Structure 1
């Protein structure tokens, strides 16, 4: 099969399109023929091995080189073959998943319990845009934030991949939603159902003291004290991301916020979709929101599989509104 292989940390030029053996599904695994994948910060952080401090910690970054050699944490495609013990899928089924690696190739093996049927009515590209970003938004709202109808939710970074899903899911849960984004995406965030939209270049969400029950913080950029000021006394600060850096950030900011969490009344928690063990069930939940019309996919740009390095380069600029996707080599 063809796949983009990362042999050493570097720029998108380090992604080498080459031939690899097609994987064979083991016990409980499903071989998926990739029709589409998405590109996100998770991929380019792994590609560059940044922040450097993460190379010293348990996880996907190796000290001297990448542990993951075929990037791509989101896939949508068709079941090609099933391994022993698989009962819920059969060849030809349309599926989507977050295998955490392997999406930048023609085929990937996925455990059955991490796979779900594609939502009805979506293209492969739209389905591939869902798992990591929408899964993160779901965990931030449902599991970390425990959002309830009538609560006030602020989504900082509302026009990005996670943000566009978080706005919609918060509305689906009955919350009053405020989105923060740049001026060119104000109308987009309104169209997703936000009750209020703040232009981050003109309005300071931390000036609304004690206003929000939950802050879904995709963009970072504000101190912990400033964010706490915007929350109610028992509000929750859900940490998703922030401005990247070569050495420490955004990990450093997150560690600092978590360090003070035991000493403040508000709850501070990291949203970890990569470590989630209920991904298959969560994908089915997301599919339900899509099929009910409560969740739609915003795609900023589409690339061909052969353009994946360029797609990564574009996503790394941080200007995408919604998701960046790439169609698979194995066209139907």
Structure 2
């Protein structure tokens, strides 16, 4: 373990279990050889060790990576949970990022949210055909990130999730709630998967049923498995300009309650950042 002094930015995550941060190493503990005081880093925190809404935070070495000068603290702070979830969801569908993947059609729901905006970009990075859903005000933004087709979820067409080109989906990165399996099933390819990043009990039971009945179309709950390799990969994409963190808003630490209120509203476009004072 080592102690990080964050005098730049940290990210509010929509969970109390982990928090994403970016900042400067203040001190390191015994046995830590990969970091030293003064290093610029991005880290995922476990709130059992204190969380990140404070001047100092405690991070684990195996969930911390160095932040290159090309990546701002705010950009880096947006990555660990949201981009990590998008990356693992796409890999669960079968996406590959080394040029060896097969062509696939994917749907990203709530594509203008924190996970969705990364999912669209990463899906295109993997060479996939992307259909996305979002509100009307964000249609052009989602298109600008590479989505091939964008549906306004408030329209009848958007509610059915049917691709305008008639394509069936090999996979869905499902980033919202309130959509039933009966809506997904008709638009999936023969072995299509819906990766649910916010699974409730109903989704878990449906997934279990699909497993025991050997269903070809499946609902798959995703629980993020944090790891350093994924975080290094994502930071590298940011560094090379192949991925973008979109920031909805910034708040000083003194207004953190306003930041939480905005997060809870559920209509942020991109990430909500809390900035630490000098």
For 2:236 and 2:142, locate their aligned partners in 1 and report how far apart those are by CA, in whole Å.
22
Shift of the alpha carbon at 1:126? 1.7
How well do the aligned residues superpose, as a CA RMSD in angstroms?
1.7
Q: Tell me, which stretches of 5 or more residues in structure 2 are unaligned?
A: 96-100
Residues 161-176 of structure 1 aligned to structure 2 (within 5 Å): 161-176=114-129
| Secondary structure of 1:105 counterpart | coil
User: Aligned to 2:19, what secondary structure does the other structure show?
Assistant: coil
Equivalent residue runs for 1:147-226 within 5 Å? 147=95, 148-202=101-155, 203-204=157-158, 205-208=160-163, 211-226=168-183
Whether 1:265 aligns to 2:265 is no
Cα distance, 1:119 vs. partner?
Answer: 4.2
| TM-score normalized by the length of structure 2 | 0.89
Mean CA deviation greater in 117-126 or 78-87: 117-126
State the match for 1:93 in structure 2.
Answer: 39
Q: Does the CA contact (< 8 Å) of 2:71 and 2:239 recur in 1?
A: no
Unaligned 5+ segments in structure 1 are: 1-28, 44-59, 61-71, 242-249
Q: For residues 173 and 180 of structure 1, what CA distance do their matches in structure 2 show?
A: 19
Partner of 2:271: 323
Deviation (angstroms), 1:120: 3.6
SS in 2 for 1:41: coil
Residue-pair matches, total: 263
| Deviation of 1:301 (Å) | 0.5
Query: In 2, Cα distance between the equivalents of 1:239 and 1:36?
Result: 29
Which residue of structure 2 lines up, in the alignment, with residue 231 of structure 1?
A: 188
Q: Is the contact between residue 119 and residue 290 of structure 1 (CA under 8 Å) also seen in structure 2?
A: no
Select 1:78's aligned residue among 24, 28, 44. 24
1:210-254 Cα shifts (integer Å, max 9, x gaps): 70111000013221122122111111110112xxxxxxxx62332
Q: Does 1:136 align with 2:82?
A: no
| Structure 1 moving runs of 4+ over 2 Å | 204-210, 252-257
Q: Is the 8 A contact 1:156 1:220 kept in 2?
A: no
The answer to whether residue 59 in structure 2 is matched with residue 113 in structure 1 is: no
Q: Work out which of the residue numbers 200, 203, 207 in structure 2 matches 1:254.
A: 203
Aligned equivalent of 2:12: 39
| Aligned partner of 2:242 among 281, 291, 294 | 294
Equivalent pair of 2:203/2:219 in contact (CA under 8 Å) = no
Normalization by structure 1: what TM-score?
0.75
Corresponding residue SS for 1:288: helix
